[in-house]
Structure 1
Amino acid sequence: MITWMQKHRKYLVVTIWISTIAFVGAGFVGWGAYDLNASRSGSVAKVGHRNISIQEFQNKYGQFHAYYSQLADGHLSEEEAANLKLENLALESLVNDALFLNFADDLGLGVNDEDIVKYIIADQNFHTNGKFDKELYKNTLKRARIPQSEYEESLKNVILLDKLRHALNIPTKKQDTDMLLASYLMQDRISMQVVEADDNEIKIDEDAVKTLWEEHKNEYKTMTEFKLDTKFIPAITSEANATELRAFYDENKNEYKGSDDKIKDFEAVKDEVLKDFNLKQTKKIALEEYLKIKKGESEAGTTISTLEDNASLPIDELKLVKTGETLKPFEYDDGYMIVKVKEVIAPRIMSFEEAREQILELYKEQKTKEIVEAKAKELLKNGFKGIDIGFIGRDAVKAQGGLTEGEFNVFVSKLFGKSAKKDYVMIDNKAVVYEILEQNLINRDKESEYKDIIAQQSSYLKNSELMRDLSTALAKRYKVEYYVSKK
């Protein structure tokens, strides 16, 4: 049971807590209008007999924000988050979970302390050398500033949802697997021709480029600029005595692991331990200096200007502080840096001249696609003589027909999503015109190789459909009350 739960869990794990805690700690999302009725002020919604707390909503929003921020290379602006309606996504995700939790309660399912212990012990995040490490568990939560009792309490809903899914799991039938096998192992014999545009075919129309900028100018903004007063505290270089150093190592030994995930011996990492020890002592000095600067008893004398893409500075924290405020010391080079925000220059829409090179790339990309697509349609209309590359299946990986491996994989993926015998597929600034010459419905040689994978996929699809249908039915069974107004 626990093995199945660990394999299929898609909800709260400690890594998500860690990735969102800084965001959550910044304060509650300014969202909607709140119903301040005394019995409702601690909740954002009620589903059946279960309340959804403000804290649960805050955590879930943080998870969504962290996920989409990662997709956006670590930068997700407030405007982008609003456009994605992350608040609504977070709330509806919690409401959907609450529907299933009500149903689990009605079925008599429950979670006890033993379930929680088994779940934690089975979690690979807390394993050292293949075994549960209690100290690693405690230290991981401690570093993330998550109270152990709060984390373990939060697992109750996770485990209950896993129990419900396990209880409702529908076994896969042979005909389900056979149907997917036939679809997945289908092979097409293809004739193909790659179509591209020459550089000399793309003519630059300045008026059209400017019109394109007018249409997209809100997407081209300068970065946020920060003017900061800074003070750098270099790491001290004192020699710690052997007793202090050994005690520091024992307290933090989980930080000194090799590529085999085994803790290195003290002597092997002694220099690294000394460096970390001195850095910790430096932090104490930096904190004392920070308090002086904050009280106006000392100055952060070096002024710098930096943009929001400076990875060496805690930009996310800088975005949250006001002008005149001072950040707590953070690690920087071989020491600690203290910064006081002098001025924040907000992003603005670029002028045409500033954005021209970027807009020109978009213009060229659009014109290239127009030219390539026109050529592809002309070939289909008048006929083409492509290269016969033989039979290919969905799992084909070897590049053919003049495409790179990545381009060929995209082509194969799109090809098996089309129904036309003869058509074209766009791949970035290229088109692949193709014709299906022959078709095999199943490749018996690969049937045994993919049978287990297809069976798992069949089970996933079947049970996903069940859960969607059940969610719709439960929404009619349990009353949903919202204590916030959606945006």
Structure 2
Amino acid sequence: MITWMQRHKKYLVVTIWISVIAFVGAGTVGWGSVDLNSSRSKYVAKVGNLGVTHKEFNDKYSELFYIQNQLSNGELTEEQALKLGLDKQALVELIREKLLLNYANDLGFYASEEEVVKTIASYELFNKSEEDKTFDKSKYLTYLKNLRMSEADFANQIKNKLEISKLLKLLAVPANKEELEIANASLNMQDEINLKIIDLSKEEDKIKLSEDELKSYWQEHKDEYKTELSYDYSVYTLNPNLDNLIESDMKTYWENNKFNYKDEEGKIKEYELALNDVKIDFALSLLEKEAKLDYIKLKNNEIKFQSTTNQNAYSELVLQNKDLKVGEMSKPFIMDNKYYIVRLDKINQPTALEFEKAKMMVEEDLRELKFKELLSNTGEEELKKDKINGKNIGFISKVSKNNTDLTDTEFFTFVSELFLKNTKKSYVLLNDKVLVYEILSQKLVDNTSEKNNTDLSNELKNINFTLMLDDLIKELDKRYEIKNYYKGSEF
């Protein structure tokens, strides 16, 4: 198998990168959580001899949520995260990690207790201070308490990461001379381009669509236009009382939970700065017992639900209660700074929309289709002409800077497609433009300095690693049985 891994390499192709990130970092608490019914199964998935636990799944989901939330300027909601498929992505990454761990153990790669302890002690997060780099046991234990994780569980996570990293070192194969030559030739090839930019952005709104065309398109694609999946709930809410809270009790609550209150830099907020959030959380903690009692009363029909609501499949209310069956009640849960108890009354399956209700969507889709046809037809007509009446933009390579009227993104798209095609004349379609071009001449530039060769060698090493890892995962997928228990996921 090791020989097989060393041989299986391809050139300059981007594939999926498998995340093997240490869990110590910017924190996973409070950045999204997917609730699973743990009574349904001990594991979310089983890979070979190893299981993906519910806690591992929630930790990985929280990690991905944190990253995506940073990219979204802190505005990512639970609904948006699940719409993006972060839950499924978390499970895919964990399954791949378990595949690698199975194989690492089969090959005899194990991390000793000494290696684990040394790794944990090396994390700056557990240093006594910025000046004093020695390990602070109290910081370590507080961190684990915040994660609701035992020392044994955390050490086991580090052990797994170390064992996988030992396996992955086998894939760190340096680029050979032939690969460097091919890559250099590819990157240093330059084409002299005659480019014509045809902007059709004002033409889309001029496209006329008749009622018959719309009805005909709807008839052919009616299965694509349906009502949303939705759920009917009976709802009971309890609002926290924010008045007359005892200051000393709130401070004690903050002391016990202060790792949940951090600023944008990940530092713990002082009590005064965190007071608004502390007040709400403390009031909710006082309300917990009453919520549990009301749950029992609702179950015994001693009190009634206060209202009913219809929610679409991606609403937070639905996502918090996705394991409920019709007629079942949820246990008390917190949402929008209140306690909720809900009963699922009905699931409304998607049904085909009548033409009038789907008309706006049909018109939008058909207009987009017609516009794409216009872009393509315009490109084809230009190529039929004897000469492309464009502008000579000079010699460009795969790494050239933008010297055109295009945006940088548009220019990058053009260059990427240009070097994928093997024709002298062609066109590239953008969202609202057609780029018709002709290659006037070509040349090979010598740019093989020692620094460039080192940078390119490192890049090729990374590409080789990624490709071999991708191939290895595919082989391990055949080798180890994968059982997926997570509702709604397919692999």
TM range (shorter): 0.7 to 0.9
Q: Which residue matches 2:426?
A: 423
Of 372, 396, 399 in structure 1, the residue corresponding to residue 375 of structure 2 is 372
Whole-angstrom CA distance in 2 between matches of 1:156 and 1:425:
50
Whole-angstrom CA distance in 2 between matches of 1:391 and 1:481:
52
Q: Which residue matches 1:10?
A: 19
Deviation digits for residues 143-182 of structure 1 (CA, Å, limit 9, x no counterpart): xxx6553454355443212102224522345664454344
Of 294, 302, 306 in structure 2, the residue corresponding to residue 297 of structure 1 is 302
| SS, match of residue 158 in structure 1 | helix
State whether structure 2 residue 210 is matched by structure 1 residue 189: no
Q: Which residue matches 1:223?
A: 228
Contact 1:230 1:337 (C-alpha < 8 Å) held by counterparts: yes
Deviation digits for residues 394-423 of structure 1 (CA, Å, limit 9, x no counterpart): 34564733x334323322222232222321
Q: Which residue matches 2:103?
A: 100
Cα displacement (A) at 1:250: 1.4
Q: Which residue matches 1:115?
A: 115
Change in Cα spacing, 1:468 to 1:327, as seen in structure 2 (3 Å) is closer
Whole-angstrom CA distance in 2 between matches of 1:386 and 1:129:
63
Whole-angstrom CA distance in 2 between matches of 1:138 and 1:62:
13
Cα displacement (A) at 1:307: 2.4
State whether structure 2 residue 18 is matched by structure 1 residue 22: no
Of 283, 287, 291 in structure 1, the residue corresponding to residue 292 of structure 2 is 287
Cα displacement (A) at 1:450: 6.0
Contact 2:28 2:147 (C-alpha < 8 Å) held by counterparts: no
Q: Which residue matches 1:463?
A: 465
Whole-angstrom CA distance in 2 between matches of 1:394 and 1:136:
50
| SS, match of residue 22 in structure 1 | coil
Cα displacement (A) at 1:258: 2.7
Deviation digits for residues 434-453 of structure 1 (CA, Å, limit 9, x no counterpart): 12234453474x96886665
Of 234, 237, 241 in structure 1, the residue corresponding to residue 242 of structure 2 is 237
Whole-angstrom CA distance in 2 between matches of 1:98 and 1:263:
35
Report the residue type matching 1:220 in the other structure. Answer: Y
Corresponding pairs, count: 446
Deviation digits for residues 108-151 of structure 1 (CA, Å, limit 9, x no counterpart): x3212233344455668989987884145313431xxx655345
Report the residue type matching 2:390 in the other structure. Answer: G
Q: What runs of 5+ residues in structure 1 fail to find an aligned partner? A: 1-7, 32-42
Root-mean-square deviation (CA, aligned residues, Å) is 4.7
Deviation digits for residues 31-71 of structure 1 (CA, Å, limit 9, x no counterpart): 9xxxxxxxxxxx9675xxxx344x4799789979x989x99
| SS, match of residue 314 in structure 1 | helix
Q: After TM superposition, list the pairs within 5 Å mapping 1:287-366 onto structure 2.
A: 287-310=292-315, 313-366=316-369
Contact 2:237 2:306 (C-alpha < 8 Å) held by counterparts: no
Contact 2:180 2:457 (C-alpha < 8 Å) held by counterparts: yes
Q: Which residue matches 2:145?
A: 139
Whole-angstrom CA distance in 2 between matches of 1:118 and 1:358:
59
Change in Cα spacing, 1:328 to 1:77, as seen in structure 2 (3 Å) is farther
Cα displacement (A) at 1:345: 1.5
State whether structure 2 residue 271 is matched by structure 1 residue 266: yes
| SS, match of residue 438 in structure 2 | strand
Whole-angstrom CA distance in 2 between matches of 1:94 and 1:259:
30
Cα displacement (A) at 1:358: 1.4
Report which stretch shifted further, 166-175 or 320-329. Answer: 166-175
Contact 1:181 1:447 (C-alpha < 8 Å) held by counterparts: no
Cα displacement (A) at 1:465: 4.5
TM-score by length of 2: 0.72
Report the residue type matching 2:460 in the other structure. Answer: S
Q: What runs of 5+ residues in structure 2 fail to find an aligned partner? A: 1-16, 69-75, 485-489
Cα displacement (A) at 1:374: 1.3
Q: Which residue matches 2:7?
A: none
Report the residue type matching 1:27 in the other structure. Answer: R
Q: Which residue matches 1:3?
A: none
Whole-angstrom CA distance in 2 between matches of 1:305 and 1:472:
43
Change in Cα spacing, 1:408 to 1:273, as seen in structure 2 (3 Å) is same
